[in-house]
Chains A and B, each alone.
Chain A
Amino acid sequence: MEGILPSGKPLKGKRANSVEVEGAAAACETCHRRSGMGSLEGNIVVTPITGRFLFANENNRPIALVDPRAPKNVSRAHSPYTQASLAKAIRKGINVGNRLLSPLMPHYDLSNAEVKAVMAYLRQLSADLSPGVGEDTLHFATVVTPGVDPKKQEAMLGMMQKAFTQRNASQEDYSGRMRMPIDLLPRTLRNWQLTVWELKGAPDTWAGQLAEKYRKEPVFAVISGLSNTTWQPVHAFCQQEKIPCMLPSTTLPATETAFYSLYYSRGVALEADVLAKYLRDQGKNAPHRIVQVYRDDEVGRTAAKALTEALRDSGIQVESRVLSGQDEPDLNVAMKDIANEDGLMLWLRPADLSAVSKIMPTLPATRTFASGFLEEENYASMPKAWQPQIRIVYPYELGEKRQKNIVALKKWLQSWNLPLVDETFQSEVFFNLLFLTDLSSQMLDNLYRDYMVERAEDMLSLGSNVSAYPHLSSARGQRFASKGAYIARFAENGKLVAETNWIVP
């Protein structure tokens, strides 16, 4: 994987256009990926190279869709590779059918022993289907952490169960429904099954709970999930068990990236960076000091720390204050001595904002900001007197574009009689369910977890964006699909409008 030969020397290859590659850049994994299932870039198809594809006979070779945009474009028939023909492909770029491989495939001067080692490696690579794949069932889980809004939990689970039922029904019934050509490729019909992992108690006990649940029912992937506090234990669990952990809804994703977890965004840390960039870009007009008020919990601490770090050496002094309760003395401590020319960032949820507004009917600082993630779309409860002045760091799309994105969600909810409780949140769940459907169509019977993550990396930006985000995008190694936010203000009709362009820190 690192492109190191058994001798310890770096692997070297030479492409047909005489570009030399060395080390990691020359490693098989760079193009054929960790799973060995290949990839697609532009119109360059990188074919699967696992043993099941290279060495099998026609009768027992699986089919892979090598270009999801062209459903007829499946892996091709060929005679099984032998050591000699594999060596020829590796050394001279000529395949088992005596045809030239793509000029992108480097030629490697490997010894017979090294080719043999490559063969042995490829034979065991993605050889068995991943855990969670049953004879006729594909198992998924979703995770709910303690303390979430029960209405949101109910909305998410309702949507997921409905989507799974709909999907299972549609794959049994081939008549009367418009089908994508991709659905006609041969595959084993497996019902999707959803299990809900509802965690209890303190975050440091979650790892044990997850392990126990997983032992009882191994799942292929964790889909969505809901948390308004830390997600770290789930992230760590997915990484440890090598389970794809796809696009949970959390304001607090893990900060370090890991192969198996994909997120919509960096959550409150992203908002902090966007605000810092916005303030820095004001140059001389930036406030000399910004006061940030937060709750002393995981989310609050993370947000405050991120803003402090993002404004380091900016010339803007950051003063951090904890709001310890909604009683007047607590509020007074947090909000004292704020001058009109200061900046003020309120990392507070609606109930806290409402409490603050009781002692401060008008905002003390001209430039006051609040967090879009923490508001959870409860803008109606924003004190009226604050509205002309306060700005929201807003990580979603606004206006007509937003409406266009989420029209599919609204129609789907309506047709299944499901409630719309929280538009941005439910749009995340909806996007994820459609994305999962696409991914599983494209994977056919190649149900390997690594392959799923790689497909997700490559395909995230290709489907239609039915989420509340302006655009979602990923690529190899990228783990946060949305990368910016607006600074938004309240229009006179009480609706949010963008005051700035989309800011990407």
Chain B
Amino acid sequence: MYSLQQYLKSTTQKVVIAALISVSTFFFATPLLAAESAEVEEGSPAPDFIRTIADYKLPDVEVTRKDDKKLKFIKELDDGRPVIMNFIFASCSAICPMLSHVFSQVQTKLAKDSQKVHLMSISIDPESDTPTILSEYAKKFGAGSDWDFYTGTTEASLAIQKAFNAFRGDKMNHSSVIFMRAAPGKSWVRLEGFVSPDVAIREYRSLR
């Protein structure tokens, strides 16, 4: 279990805490989120997430897209389009479906933009998530041509998770996090926690 201090210490890249929303709830009471958040007025919406700006050193690894094409991960990220990225696995029952629902709605809401966004979902259970399984998963969430899914070797998936400081020792320890970036060379915006599609879009629109 990460405390905020440990988290900051372990984060080797430059991290600017841009906004801390309910930090104490998120970091110190996360295991008890269900029961232990602050007492509230009925209906008060308080989706918790942490927004940070970060630069990540990207690993030079090969990934396999859901159409079974083997590709350089960096090239996929740097194809010129803005990127919104997350980590998922197909057998995950709670966090990943939620993240994928957010992506699905983001996809729909950004569909009319002239500047196309590249949505990328990276499997953190790559041996189980074969291209076939990822294709079925993509279909379930209505993924279109701008939303790609990637698998690959365990080593490649680990390297990517570690590069984005998203590796927590095992797939069962993963957290809900979305990354976005305006263009190659720009910093990443990291949104960790519960992000609504509207917030994700707002963040995307304000990318610089």
Say if the beta carbon of B23 comes within 8 Å of chain A: no
Given contacts A76-B35, A94-B42, A462-B170, A19 and B105 within 8 Å (CB-CB): yes
Whether B34 contacts A45 by the Cβ 8 Å rule is yes
Residue of A nearest to B199 (CB): A17
> Do B153 and A501 touch (CB < 8 A)?
yes
> Interface SS of chain A: helix, strand, loop or mixed?
loop
Which of A25, A70, A505 has most B Cβ within 10 Å? A25
Across the interface, do B153 and A502 meet the contact criterion of CB distance under 8 Å?
yes
Chain B binding surface SS class: loop
Total chain B interface residues with beta-carbon distance under 8 A: 51
Query: Given the complex, which residues of A lie within 8 Å of B36, measured CB to CB?
Result: 76, 99
The contact sample of 24 A-B pairs, CB cut-off 8 A, is: A17-B98, A17-B195, A19-B196, A20-B101, A21-B101, A30-B97, A39-B93, A43-B175, A44-B176, A45-B33, A45-B34, A47-B35, A67-B31, A69-B173, A73-B32, A95-B34, A99-B37, A102-B34, A103-B47, A459-B172, A461-B171, A475-B128, A475-B171, A502-B153
CB-based contact B94/A30 at 8 Å: yes
B117 at interface, CB cutoff 8 A:
no
Instruction: Give which listed residue, A18, A104, A471, contacts B95 with CB less than 8 A.
Output: A104
- Looking at A199-207, A363-371, A476-484, A489-497, the stretch in contact with chain B turns out to be A476-484
- In the bound complex, residues from chain B placing their C-beta under 8 Å from that of A46 are 34, 94
With an 8 A cutoff between CB atoms, is B184 at the interface? no
Within 8 A of B (CB), among A38-75: 39-47, 66-67, 69-70, 73
CB distance from B6 to the nearest CB of A (A): 13
* Cα–Cα, bound, A100→B168 (Å): 26
- B30 at interface, CB cutoff 8 A: yes
Are A70 and B94 in contact (CB-based, < 8 A)? no
Does A105 sit within 8 A of B, measured CB to CB?
Answer: yes
Is B91 interfacial (CB 8 A cutoff)?
Answer: yes
With contacts A478-B128, A501-B153 taken as known, whether A31 is within 8 angstroms of B40 at the C-beta atoms is no
CB distance from B170 to the nearest CB of A (A): 5
- Contact assessment for A471 and B1 in the assembled complex, using a CB-CB cutoff below 8 Å: no
Chain B, 100-139, CB within 8 A of any chain A CB: 101-102, 105, 125-128, 130
Bound: A39/B95 CA distance, A: 12
Q: Which residues of B contact A67 (CB under 8 A)?
A: 31
Kindly state the separation between the CA atoms of A483 and B35 in the bound complex, as whole angstroms.
Answer: 38
Q: How far is the CA of A282 from the CA of B36 in the complex (A)?
A: 56
For window 149-185 of B, CB contacts with A under 8 Å fall at 153-154, 168, 170-176
Chain B residue at minimal CB-CB distance from A107: B43
Chain A: interface residue count, which band?
A: 35 or more
User: Which residue of chain A has its CB nearest to the CB of B125?
Assistant: A475
Contacts of A475 in B (CB 8 A): 89, 91-92, 125, 128, 171-172
Tell me if A433 counts as interface (CB < 8 A to partner B): no
The verdict on A239 contacting chain B, using a C-beta distance below 8 Å, is no
Question: Is A410 in the interface zone, CB < 8 Å from B?
Answer: no
Decide yes or no whether A458 CB sits under 8 A from chain B. yes
Which residue of A15, A76, A98, A504 contacts B98 across the interface (Cβ within 8 Å)?
A15
> Closest 4 A-B residue pairs measured CB to CB?
A17-B196, A475-B91, A43-B30, A103-B194
* Nearest-Cβ distance from residue A286 to partner chain B, whole angstroms: 17
Q: Are A44 and B127 in contact (CB under 8 A)?
A: no
